[in-house]
Chains A and B, each alone.
Chain A
């Protein structure tokens, strides 16, 4: 190591000030709606009012002076009419056919936003309606083919061992079906973009987004422009959670088309109603488990069928499906398993990325199912998990060998103690015999893979840069975006630590495709681990440049570095060190068979939820929440904790509050007053604990943590509700009305086995 720091001086592992924090607490941070360009006009979208049909006629009423407006239709698209992403099936503007409510058809722009609104409202569109489908089951029935030849976007099969051999060996076969609903990301900043066009430089867009190079790719195809004539700049982004992964490409496309046609900068900022109605949500899912177990609760094998509703176009459904399928087996050892995964089409607006990306759906099923198996076998929720946990050296469902020295029984035990699980479980079972409320406690054990799946990182081939600056400081150049998680802070910490300079000596460029290399999208819990690791390499390049020039010795102080760097820049100009992802040679992944090393690292967790169900109102409230996780290395304790508490809060919403009410593919409750996210008065103390095993593939041992906390809360909570009431609930969100229906249906009550009173084998 090149510097002489004590532990206290270390930058990584300390809660340094957030890089952009000062701008945020003073209100100076510039979000897209805060930005104004000279001569700028406003853009808006005319959308489909029906779920499926042919566009027959569009009427522009004469009382509007259409000369004042810029009007764009599919015919104005210079390149390909699609939002290029994975499959190029989603049009930028519907041409003849609409496939979901709120599908964009026309774009309008006007200098006055109120006049614009009036013009949008004035347009009437006649359709020849076609029959539409709205559920997984309707899609499977294929009475209407709304996508491709069979309504199926993608299927995967993961197969390990010989599942057919297990059924006759089984002492018990446990079958159950689970379902999860759509969930709105509900970032507090609505989506928005500004586009400006000039024939010489091409198109520039600024916006609220996660993935500058996704937008870049989409605009190149849409506008038929070379890479250098498309520039994408991320503004400060007010929350994303996956909700600004793919849809910003659509809005950027719309703003660009209007800017090209009008010759003026165009701003499109959605209001909440439009954002909720038109943009993506978490995929609704259905998971069926059929599991063969031995008398003592060992999983012998099983089939898992995981199906998600992708909505009308492919968007990211294939990838969400893949992650959901790979996580479907949970942190357990399956000697034999077959996972069949399928993404189907319906006539809802496309569902998309949302923190967890399929895993919260399939893990909800897995962790509810573990409690179910425990009941059937007659052992405790603790014991069923302990007997089936993956251990180092064993293989996952994709036959990835667990190399990490993770001790899941110990992790579980620690969580139980932190939550005071055993004594609570006992006392609740006693209290619940009488009283007007019932309490319960539930467990979820889970894992989350960090980074892109399988060969994903190899294909991405991310590049990062570091730049030596004139003042002797260093600037991080990455396309990784900050939207609350702390990207800027953590990457600067990693760079500073790697270079042996002060945190304050490192700055980070605003993501701008003109300036920063493509370090991949900011998704999949990959930034700290993968991009951070690359920065370590880039730092070596910077040091090497300075050392070779004779300005720096092997051992140096931060001041010596600053002098060396500024003197080098004075002579040679600013210099950069780039580092490209170098795939580990020992990682094997078979994309055909879906077998091998799915992720370079997993984070592991045990969450425990305590709930009260009020029998007067039938509402379940979370009273206490313990979140214990192993995440490699904590780079920034305050930020890491904030990621967990935030994810848990969204998970509590997913479980108990947040229900999208659909009618013919359209969201009925698309306002903050009736789409219910938790307020500060609805959350329990969320108690966060970490374990750190390190990770050779991550910067300073880090693993990804962004998505992990979304996976565990829902099953832990519903397991706790079952512990309280003795009623199975297999679908979420679980609202008071659902609990009421179940409590008042006596047959349910009679058939529900109670798990309380069963002892685990103890410690």
Chain B
């Protein structure tokens, strides 16, 4: 075999993905992105650049937005990973997803999972972001379709929806 030069063995790595404990067998330097996509069948995170520039592979790792193309899976050991697939509850879309749909925040859809997670991450830290906060919050997620205007509207709308839900439950 050509790849017999590989001398590293795969290890068992346990991580929590969208609330479920998962164990994978992987090379420690495999990218979290590849493990999610190829082993766990979670293809919502996309590879746009492979160098942490476009943000389309964004996931939440222990609550922090990260580019999963830059995370060796070993570093995700025991981490809690949250992907776009974990956002909707059953058939009910998450308010951020609703907002992106309503405002035209998704066009071709390839940046959308990462963009929505970036929005989620922003709102979890800053529930009432200003326009500038929104621009900065999604600046690591490139979108070539929208010119971002409708994404800004979607994030602002997501904040409103989120705060409405929070207000109701408190």
Binding site for B on A (CB under 8 A): 15, 17-18, 20-31, 33-34, 64-65, 68, 110, 112, 114-115, 118-119, 185-190, 236-241, 271-272, 483-486, 638-639, 641-642, 645-650, 671-673, 677, 679-681, 683, 685-686
Inter-subunit contact A188/B104 (CB<8 Å)? no
Residues of B within 8 A of A641 (CB): 104, 149-150
Q: Which residues of A contact B43 (CB under 8 A)?
A: 27, 30-31, 33-34
Task: Please indicate the chain A residues that have their CB under 8 angstroms from the CB of B54 in the complex.
Answer: 188, 672
Contact at A188–B51, with CB atoms within 8 Å?
A: no
The 9 closest A-B pairs by CB, nearest first: A27-B44, A238-B110, A484-B108, A24-B109, A649-B147, A645-B147, A484-B107, A27-B84, A34-B43
**Interface residue count on the B side (C-beta < 8 Å):** 56
Q: Could you name 5 residue pairs across A and B whose Cβ atoms are closer than 8 Å?
A: A26-B84, A30-B43, A31-B110, A34-B43, A641-B150
Q: How far is the CA of A28 from the CA of B110 in the complex (A)?
A: 11
Q: Are A642 and B104 in contact (CB under 8 A)?
A: yes
Known interface pairs A238-B110, A645-B146, A646-B146; 12 further A-B residue pairs with C-beta atoms within 8 A, sorted by A's residue number:
A25-B97, A26-B93, A27-B85, A68-B1, A187-B108, A189-B48, A189-B110, A238-B108, A241-B144, A642-B146, A672-B53, A677-B144
Q: B88 to A26, Cβ gap below 8 A?
A: yes
Chain B residues with CB under 8 A of A119: 2
Which residues does chain A contribute within 8 Å of B161, judged by CB atoms?
none
B9-17, B70-78, B111-119, B162-170 - interface stretch: B111-119
- List B87-124 residues whose CB lies under 8 Å from chain A: 87-88, 93, 97, 100-104, 106-113, 116
Q: Which of B100, B140, B144 is A187 in contact with, Cβ under 8 Å?
A: B144
B139 in contact with A679 (CB, 8 Å): yes
Q: A188-B143, A238-B110, A239-B108 are in contact. Are A25 and B100 (CB under 8 A)?
A: yes
**B60 within 8 A of partner (CB):** no
| A648/B147 contact (C-beta < 8 A), A21-B101, A64-B2, A190-B48 known | yes
The answer to whether A638 and B56 touch (CB under 8 A), given A22-B93, A189-B110, is: no
Alpha-carbon distance A83/B13, docked complex (angstroms): 46
- Once the chains bind, are A671 and B51 in contact (CB under 8 Å)? yes
A179 to chain B, nearest CB (A): 24
Residues of A within 8 A of B40 (CB): none
Chain B CB within 10 Å — which of A21, A188, A646, A650 has the most? Answer: A188
Verify B106–A21 contact, CB threshold 8 A. yes
Q: Is B65 an interface residue (CB 8 A)?
A: no
With A25-B116, A26-B85, A188-B56 known as contacts, the answer to whether A484 contacts B109 (CB < 8 A) is: yes
Complex Cα distance, B54 from A187, in Å, reads 11
Contact B107 A680 (CB under 8 A): no
Residues on A with beta carbons closer than 8 Å to the beta carbon of B47: 33, 190, 271
Any A CB within 8 A of the CB of B159: no
Chain B residue at minimum C-beta to C-beta distance from A29: B109
Could you mark each residue 125-168 of chain B with 1 if its beta carbon is under 8 Å from any beta carbon of chain A, else 0?
00000000011101111111111111110000000000000000
Say yes or no: A110-B2 contact (C-beta < 8 A), given A31-B110, A648-B147, A671-B53.
yes
Task: Return chain B residues, CB-CB under 8 Å to A34.
Answer: 37, 43
Report the Cα distance A319→B153, complex, angstroms: 38
Chain A residues with Cβ below 8 Å from B50 are 271-272
Q: Are A25 and B112 in contact (CB under 8 A)?
A: yes
CA distance A118 to B50 in the complex (A): 18
A642, B145: Cβ atoms closer than 8 Å: yes
Q: Please, which residues of chain B bring their CB within 8 A of the CB of A241?
A: 144
Contact (Cβ within 8 A) B151 A680 = yes
Within 8 A of A (CB), among B8-64: 37, 42-51, 53-54, 56
Task: Tell me which of A27, A30, A677, A683 has the highest count of chain B C-beta atoms within 10 A of its own C-beta.
Answer: A27
Asked if B3 is at the interface (CB within 8 A of a chain A CB), the reply is yes
Q: Does B68 contact A (CB under 8 A)?
A: no
Complex CA distance for A483 and B106, rounded to whole angstroms: 11
Determine which of B101, B138, B140 lies in contact with A17 in the assembled complex, contact meaning CB atoms within 8 Å. B101
Asked if A33 and B46 sit within 8 Å, CB to CB, the answer is yes
- Which A residues lie within 8 Å of B134 (CB)? 680
Q: Say yes or no: B101 contacts A485, CB within 8 Å.
A: no
| Interface residue from A64, A188, A645 paired with B110 (Cβ < 8 Å) | A188
Are the CB atoms of B142 and A679 closer together than 8 Å? Answer: yes
**When chains A and B are docked, how far (Å) is the Cα of A130 from the Cα of B95?**
60
CA distance A204 to B84 in the complex (A): 31
Report Cα–Cα, A238/B88, bound state, in Å: 22
Tell me whether A239 and B152 are in contact (CB under 8 A): no
The residue on A at minimum CB distance from B87 is: A26
Asked if residues B147 and A646 are in contact (CB atoms below 8 Å), the reply is yes
Bound state CA distance, A271 and B135, in angstroms? 28
B134 to chain A: closest residue by CB: A680
Decide if A237 touches B108 in the complex (CB within 8 Å).
Answer: yes
Q: Is the CB of B142 within 8 A of A677?
A: yes
List chain B residues, Cβ under 8 A from A677.
Answer: 142, 144
Q: How far is the CB of B127 from chain A (nearest CB, A)?
A: 19
Which of A187, A189, A677 has the most B CB atoms < 10 Å from its CB? A189
Residues of B within 8 A of A639 (CB): 104
Contacts A31-B46, A31-B110 given; does A118 touch B146 at CB 8 Å: no
Decide: A20 and B109 in contact? CB cutoff 8 A: yes
A256 CA to B100 CA, complexed, in Å: 37
Known: A65-B2, A484-B109, A648-B147. A681 touches B48 (CB 8 A): no
B139 lies within 8 A of A681 (CB) = yes
Known A-B contacts A26-B84, A27-B84, A484-B145; the reply to A642 vs B107 at CB < 8 A is yes
Which residues from A are CB-within-8-Å of B111? 188
State whether A26 and B46 are in contact (beta carbons under 8 Å apart), knowing that A188-B54, A641-B150, A671-B51 are contacts in the complex. Answer: no
Instruction: From B97, B145, B150, name the one whose CB has the most chain A CB atoms within 10 angstroms.
Output: B145
**Of B83, B97, B138, B143, most A-chain CB atoms within 10 Å:** B143
